Amino acid sequence: MKRARDAGKTVLLISQLALGLLILAVLLQQANLEATLQVLLYADARYVLAASCLVVAASTMIALSFYIILSSLKYRVGLSSCIQANFAGQLASDLTPGRAGYFITPFVMKALSEVPFETCLVATVLSGMVDFLIRAFLALISIAYLMGPVESISGVQWIVFLSAFILATSALAFAAILWSDKPRKLVVRLSSFRIIGSLLNPYLARIESFQKEGVKAKRALGPVVFAMFLTSLLDSFALYFFSLSVGVELSPALFVFIYSLVSSFTYLPLTLAGLGVQEGVLAALLNLFGIPLSQGVSVSLLFRFFYTVTDFIGLPSLLKIGLSKVFNKAPDTESEYGKPWGKA
């Protein structure tokens, strides 16, 4: 049974990778492969380096958000552990549909810091919720910048709507998990059934602990919003510098909105981390402002490549901890709750 399930997952991953590569191949054909390679070949290395540094800085802001939340909950944790955990999660997310692999982040953080898993999960979910809300807001107000092109190309309206919907729905789901009593009550009701209860009962105490920590984490909302807003700005300016490297000169403010729209499509579980989908949306949006497809596709490929390469900063922590330890998702509940875990 387990082998069949694992085989099914492997086939699905290979299919999604193949679909992403197919979309990229079609994009390159439409953009003219030779012209695109020529643009990439002559990309300004100075702008590429600056953009890569901004990508790293943006990821560090996410780690800072983790640090702020854990500190507000009175846990001793090093910023370096948060940085390693975040990059490890981002690396996993680069290789999974809908970036679902990012949820190994709390497992890595727990292994590196010995902070309880539920608290690490609160830091991950709260940061994600704020990030989604900020980008949903930016996606909606992007209409002001896209108004001219949108009047002639109605498809962009759907890009804006779908992007904001994906982000806002994800944010609301995270908020419900953190602060609503309904998910816990649903689990309690389901646990009353014999078969389902045998699976859920070991996790009831952990769910309650997670939500208690989530309520206490509200005190960190202000600094977290600031850190995650900086994350969006830094990623947006990274995209701007990648564009400058291939001769695309548009307003820097425009990229704040373009980034919010484009990044949301990586969460659609059609391909691995939105491979091909993100590139197509970015190239299409840039094309609305008169940017040739060869340059638009070049920008999207640079952004994808260096965003993924910088995430390999998290590889050493994954190798050091060991994947089997990271994915040890069901430790003994009684032993976990019977000790203070290094809380200050």
Residue 36 domain flag:
no
Q: What is the DSSP string of 70-119?
A: HHHTTB---HHHHHHHHHHHHHHHTTSBTTGGGGGHHHHHHHHH---HHH
Residue 342 domain flag:
no
- What pLDDT was estimated at residue 198? 67
Residue 341 domain flag:
no
User: pTM for the complete prediction?
Assistant: 0.84
- What pLDDT was estimated at residue 343? 37
What's the pLDDT tens digit per position in 96-151?
887 888 889 999 999 888 899 999 999 999 999 999 999 888 887 876 666 555 45
Higher pLDDT, 210 or 145: 210
Chain Cα centroid distance, residue 178: 18
How is residue 153 annotated by DSSP? -
pLDDT band at 235 (very low <50, low <70, confident <90, very high): very high
Mean pLDDT of the chain, nearest integer: 83
Which neighbouring-strand residues pair with 97? Answer: 272
Task: Using the predicted structure, report yes or no on whether residue 326 has a pLDDT greater than 80.
Answer: no
- Per DSSP, the three-state class of 272 is strand
Q: Tokens 């539920």 correspond to what residue?
A: 118
CB-based contact 240:77 (threshold 8 Å): no
Residue 35 domain flag:
no
Higher pLDDT, 203 or 276: 276
pLDDT band at 260 (very low <50, low <70, confident <90, very high): confident
Number of domains in the chain: 1
Task: Using the predicted structure, report yes or no on whether residue 181 has a pLDDT greater than 90.
Answer: no
pLDDT band at 338 (very low <50, low <70, confident <90, very high): very low
Which neighbouring-strand residues pair with 343? Answer: 75
Residue 39 domain flag:
no
CB-based contact 279:297 (threshold 8 Å): yes
Residue 40 domain flag:
no
Q: Which of 44, 262, 258 is closest to 250 using CA atoms?
A: 258
- What is the C-alpha separation between 132 and 168, in angstroms, rounded? 6
- What is the C-alpha separation between 265 and 305, in angstroms, rounded? 16
CB-based contact 275:282 (threshold 8 Å): no
Which neighbouring-strand residues pair with 75? Answer: 343
- What is the C-alpha separation between 152 and 138, in angstroms, rounded? 22
CB-based contact 129:171 (threshold 8 Å): yes
331: left (phi over 0), alpha (psi -120 to 50) or beta: beta
- What pLDDT was estimated at residue 160? 72
Mean pLDDT (whole number) for 183-203: 69
How many other CB atoms are there within 10 angstroms of residue 87's CB atom? 26
Domain of residue 275: give its range. 2-30+45-335
- What is the C-alpha separation between 174 and 172, in angstroms, rounded? 5
- What is the C-alpha separation between 271 and 15, in angstroms, rounded? 8
How is residue 317 annotated by DSSP? H
Please give the structure tokens belonging to residue 327.
């994915």
Residue 37 domain flag:
no
- What is the C-alpha separation between 86 and 106, in angstroms, rounded? 9
Q: What separation, in Å, do the N-terminal and C-terminal C-alpha atoms of the chain show?
A: 45
Residue 344 domain flag:
no
